[in-house]
Structures are given as C-alpha cells and as structure tokens.
Chains A and B, each alone.
Chain A
Amino acid sequence: MTLFLEQMLNGVQFGVMLFLLAAGLTLIFGIMGVINLAHGSIYMIGAYAGTWVAAETGSFWLGIPAALAAAAVTGAAIEFLVVRRLYGRDHLDQVLATFALILIFNQTITILFGRQPLFVSMPDVLGGSVELLPGLVYPVYRIAIIAVGLLVALGLYLLINKTRIGMLVRAGSTNREMVRALGVDIRLLYTLVFGLGALLAGLAGFMAGPILAVQVGMGEQILITTFVVVVIGGVGSIRGAFFASLILGVVDTGLRAYLPGLLRQVMVGPEADALGAGISSMGIYLLMAIVLLIRPKGLFIRNS
C-alpha cells in the first residue's frame, strides 16, 4: 500500500513538472495559434542560467530569479524577433522557424558551456528525504516540486479567472478575431502571454536541474510529452493542461511500475519485462490516440 502511495506521489510530481511546461505551450498555441517548438529551449535556458548563477554565487536561491529572468527575456525576444512575423503564416513555417531556434540555442549553449552536463548543487534544506507515513520515505525536493507546481496552478487559476488580463486571455483563446475587433491591443497581450509561458518553462527547467542532467538538448526530451499533454487537455485550456498533466504523470508512472509485474503473471519473466517496458513507453501516446478518437478537441474543451 505504501508502495502504491509512493508511486502515486511520483506520478503527481511528474505531472506537476509537465504542467509547468504545458501551461505556457497551451496558452501560446491556443491564443496565438503558434506552434512553438522552441519552448523546450527556453526550459533549457532556464536550467542553464539558474544553475550557472547558483554555482557561481554558491546560493541555490539566487538561481531562481536568474532562471526566471533569463527565460522571460529569451521568451520575449523570441516573440519580438521571430514569432511576431509568423502569426499570419501557416503552421509549417512556424515549425521550421522554431525548429531553427532549437538548433541555434543548442549550439549557443554548447559554445558557452561546452558539451559536458553541468553540476548542480542543492540546498541542505531540500536534500534528503522525510517519512510521510510509516514506511513511506519521500525525497524533500520532490515534495517541494509538487508544492511549487500546485501553487503555480492556483496562481494561474486566479490570474485567468479573476483578472482582466485573464479575461482577455480566455476571450483570445476562444475567438481571437473578436477580441481584436473590440480594440484590444493584441500585440501586447501576445508578448505578455509568451513571456509568461517562457517564465514557467524557465522555472520548470531550473527545478528540474537537481534531479535531471542539465545538458544541451534536455528540452527536446520533454517537449514531445508536453505536446501530448496539450493535445489531451485541449488546446488553449489551462485547466485542461493541469488535469491532463496529472493524468499523464500518473498513467505513465503507473504503467512503468505495474505493467511488467502484471504481464509476468501470464508470461515468462524476460519477455514480460521487455513487453511491459515497450507498452508502457507507448502508454501516453495510446492515451492520446483514444482521447483524440472520443473527444477530438481534447478532454476539457466543450465541443461546440
């Protein structure tokens, strides 16, 4: 039972991490209609900037503003210099341009930091693990990630549902032309949304530093899963991204944890392990396919 609880916590933690990335991506995609492949690069830049500042100053906490600032500035620069020219173009042009950005950022980071992954230190407060329940030992850092992720989700909920900007964002994701026709400065709104998305990606990157490898190309690894979240949750829906992230995190973790064991009941060990690993790595894509069949617009978009 404790093992099951631990696995569920693992799923939630993975989901929360995905949410930080997916929130920005779904907003950018939903409101501006731009497919931003460079979102993963912003995640990487957040990780590098934060980790580097933390290592140079010796303070983990100083890394947080550095990561956020670097990510937001990069995000705004991408929007201003590249993406702004692509709103009217079709998705293929956007994919090409933002894919080029991935290559440019990866190479720039290689020139600046070299190809070796960076060393990341963690403050003592967040190191180690605590016993949540008898027998359930869980790393403090992962609990912190869950807490930060839930706080961000709450903050976004309030921002989107209770403020004027949030109202514009919601309106923009439903009917862009109408918002523009009503005289809203859509350009400013776009830059803001892009910056906000980048900020969240940078935060995710920095938080991922101590548990993952801070290395060139780290963004592309997680980008595909993030797109799956966006598709399942419904393009443009923050609420959808939140629940889809959690579902995906829990499903992925659950499959990895339990599928090989279940298969071993009906077939020989090594084959069950290999097949289990194979199916569980397909799991999230199967889930996406099923969702697309039943609700093509995503789980949390009302079909109109």
Chain B
Amino acid sequence: MNVRKTLLVASVAALAAFPAIAADPVKIGMITTLSGPAGYLGQDIRDGFMLAMEEGKLGGVPVELVVEDDGLKPGQGKQIAERFMGEEGIKLFTGIVFSNVAGATVPDIVDNDAFYVSPNAAPSNMAGKECNPNYFVVSWQNDSLHESAGQNATNLGYKKAFVLAPNYQAGKDAIAGFKRYFKGEIAGEIYTRLDQTDFAAELAQVRAAKPDVVFQFHPGGLGITFLRQYEQSGLMKEVPMVVAEPSMDGVTLAAVGDAAIGLNVTSHWNSDFDNAANKQFMAAWNKAYNRPVTYYASQGYDAALAYASALKATGGSLDDADAFREALRKADFESVRGKFAFGPNQHPVQNWYALKVEKGDDGKPMLKTVGEVLKDHGDAYAAECKM
C-alpha cells in the first residue's frame, strides 16, 4: 500500500517536472496499396517515406506514421480515411497510389479540413476545377508523365507513332497527354484491357502499320508482359519505343532485363541524379533495403520532406491550419529531383528528363539520364483552378 502510494506521488512529481516530454507525436495517416500485383508501389512509397523520418521525427517534430492497405479499392480507401479522421483524429494524410482510390478518398479528407500530400496519383479533375487549398501533389500531374514522352518522341525526330494504353481513364489520359506534345502523325491507336495477358493480336497490328515509334502506357505487371512480348516478337529491333516512367520503373526493369535495352523513357527523377539530396536518399535506400529503387520510393521520400518542412516551420503545431498551409506551399525542402516548386494549383512545376535503358558497368541493364525534355513544366489544368 505504502509502496504504491510512494510510486504514485513520484510519478505525479515526475510528470509535473517534465511536461514537454508527455506531448503526443503528430500522427500521419498513410493509405496506400500494399496487396495484389501493384503492392510494390505502395510498399516503396511507404518505405521511401520512412527513410525521411529520422529517429521518428520529421523536421525535428516527433511523428507517428499509421499505415493501412487500401487493397486498390476506392471504397476501402474512403473507409480508412473516415476512421483515421474520426477515431484517430489524424489531420495529415498521404500515400494513395491509384487515381481511382484518390478520387474517392481525397475529397473526403480535404472537405474535413485535413491535409493531403499526394506521393503519386494526381488526376486531372483535382488539378483543375476541383482543386483544393488543402490538397498538395509532390509527384506530378498524371498527364505530364505522358506529355514528356510525347515531347521526347518529337525531339528524337519520330514522325509516325503507334499508341497503346489500357481502356480506362488513366490510359485515355496517357494517350491524350502524349498526343498533346507529339508533333507527328498517329499511325494507329489501340486500347487494351486492364486484365489482358496476351498482346499478340495488338503487336501484329503494330507490325502491319509500320510506324517509326511505339508509345505505350502499361503500368506494373502489364508493362512487363507487354515489353517481354514486344521483344520476343522481334519488334524491338524494328520499331523503337518511347514510354513514360510508369511503364519502366526500377522493378519493371529488373523483371524484364535485357529485353528493355534501347528503350526511351521520360521521368522527373532518376537514381543517378547528381544532387546532394538524391545522393543522401540513394545511400540511405541502398543501406536499408536490398531491392531496386523506384521513382515511387523517391516520391514517398519527397512527400515526407514536404511535411517535414511545414512541421518544422510551425514547430509541430496543426492548430493554425492557415499557417501550416502557407509553410507547406513554400516547398522549403531539397527535393531528390533537384529544382521543385508548387504551381498555382499546388501541383509541381519541374523539369522532365530523357532516360535510356543501357547496359551498366555490372552488365545489368540500367536507366541512364541522357538529357532534358521539358523545363519548368507545370500542367494543363492549373488555369482552371480558382483558389
């Protein structure tokens, strides 16, 4: 009895003496895709984000990252967001990989005065008319991925392109984005299926149309399948290919191997970028994880840096939402891609680069940066955004 009393008194005294230590960490809710074939995307975003957390802190403020798998289901993403905001009282969100999940989840988050920093998906509607002061994107606007590929094909002097993408919104956006910046003629246009496993019928049509160049958008496993079959059909030797980064990330490259050599890729980031932030990121990645790095990981890392910059500016306080928003908008952090700023719709204004798949020194194919494609490129929807 006495002992218990003494302990109680002691602990009360201890609490009174060090009030600051008892402060709860700032919670950050990460809703991302961790299961299924696309699970590696969410995994890389999560692991990239965690690399930026030094000893559980972002910008010197203790944070707690709460991660949940949306299973690539829009409904599930929305439910998790509601639970995070209700039960857990989370105010800061990030993580969503896919545009369809983002479309169902993000409006709910920002309408409840919470913040969302997108490490990947940025559909066109949310960049234009439906933009929101609490919605930030550190990756890119979806279209600009493919606009850069179109510009790259134009720069490389191709006149006649054959384009292929899956028959869903992102696929249609991809083709529209490519056409916006490709100055040549379109020799053919095919919409494939999202669950397609065999592309022989499409490849035969490509061969028959005899284009100068093929542009295709097939993310994840679809892209691996497409590239393998393209190479096996002998087309890689006849018709060069231009793609944007979703069709050729570090993981796709490791799975496809030599079949990808000669491929033209456009990206806003590459592992060989020569800046201090990127070198630090790459060193940390290679130390922590024994697997190929993808641009998804770099985006997760940048999302964490963005939150870190705002948390540092407000000293970890979220009470004044306007001050936090202002701090976030400044983009006061060293992005791993180099130059970075938010445009008027809080989407990135950044450079796009041409990469080429070549044989590296160790004999394995690697993505090498060969030049710049677009400078200080924003997106086509910023003008429609009234904030």
Bound CA span A260–B167, Å: 13
Q: Which residues of B contact A117 (CB under 8 A)?
A: 37, 221, 224, 251-252, 255
> Do A119 and B255 touch across chains, with their CB atoms under 8 A apart?
yes
> Do B197 and A110 touch across chains, with their CB atoms under 8 A apart?
no
A-contacting residues, B4-49, CB 8 Å = 34-37, 39-40, 43
Residue of B nearest to A249 (CB): B198
| Residue B228 at the chain A interface, CB threshold 8 Å | yes
| Residue A118 at the chain B interface, CB threshold 8 Å | yes
B-contacting residues, A245-289, CB 8 Å = 253-254, 256-257, 260, 269-270, 273-274, 276-278, 281
Contacts A117-B221, A218-B221; A256 near B228 (Cβ below 8 A): no
In the assembled complex, the CB of A7 is this many whole angstroms from the nearest CB of chain B, namely 6
Q: Which residues of A contact B221 (CB under 8 A)?
A: 117, 212-213, 215, 218
Bound CA span A88–B37, Å: 34
In the assembled complex, the CB of B37 is this many whole angstroms from the nearest CB of chain A, namely 5
In the assembled complex, the CB of A113 is this many whole angstroms from the nearest CB of chain B, namely 11
Q: Which residues of A contact B222 (CB under 8 A)?
A: 213
What interface size band does chain B fall in?
A: 35 or more
Bound CA span A7–B201, Å: 6
Q: Which residues of A contact B251 (CB under 8 A)?
A: 116-117
Residue of B nearest to A107 (CB): B35
Interface segment, A67-75, A134-142, A184-192?
A134-142
Q: Which residues of A contact B234 (CB under 8 A)?
A: 128-129, 137, 139
> Do B191 and A215 touch across chains, with their CB atoms under 8 A apart?
no
| Residue A211 at the chain B interface, CB threshold 8 Å | yes
> Do A115 and B233 touch across chains, with their CB atoms under 8 A apart?
no
| Residue B319 at the chain A interface, CB threshold 8 Å | no
- Annotate A84-124 by CB proximity to B: 1 below 8 A, 0 otherwise: 00000000000000000000001000100011111111000
Bound CA span A120–B172, Å: 30
Contacts A119-B254, A213-B37, A273-B190; A10 near B198 (Cβ below 8 A): yes
In the assembled complex, the CB of A303 is this many whole angstroms from the nearest CB of chain B, namely 33
Interface centre among A115, A128, A210, A278 (most CB of B within 10 A): A115
| Residue A127 at the chain B interface, CB threshold 8 Å | yes
| Residue B64 at the chain A interface, CB threshold 8 Å | no
Q: Is the interface of B mostly helix, strand, loop or mixed?
A: helix
> Do B255 and A212 touch across chains, with their CB atoms under 8 A apart?
no
Q: Which residues of A contact B155 (CB under 8 A)?
A: none
Bound CA span A117–B189, Å: 28
In the assembled complex, the CB of B230 is this many whole angstroms from the nearest CB of chain A, namely 11
> Do B202 and A256 touch across chains, with their CB atoms under 8 A apart?
yes
| Residue A14 at the chain B interface, CB threshold 8 Å | yes
> Do A3 and B204 touch across chains, with their CB atoms under 8 A apart?
yes
In the assembled complex, the CB of B320 is this many whole angstroms from the nearest CB of chain A, namely 40
Q: Which residues of B contact A (CB under 8 A)?
A: 34-37, 39-40, 43, 167, 172, 189-193, 195, 197-198, 200-202, 204-205, 208, 220-222, 224-225, 228-229, 232-234, 251-252, 254-257, 291-292
Q: Which residues of A contact B (CB under 8 A)?
A: 3, 6-7, 10-11, 13-14, 17, 106, 110, 114-121, 127-129, 137, 139, 141-142, 208, 210-218, 221-222, 253-254, 256-257, 260, 269-270, 273-274, 276-278, 281
The 4 tightest CB contacts between A and B, nearest first, are: A213-B221, A10-B200, A277-B191, A115-B40
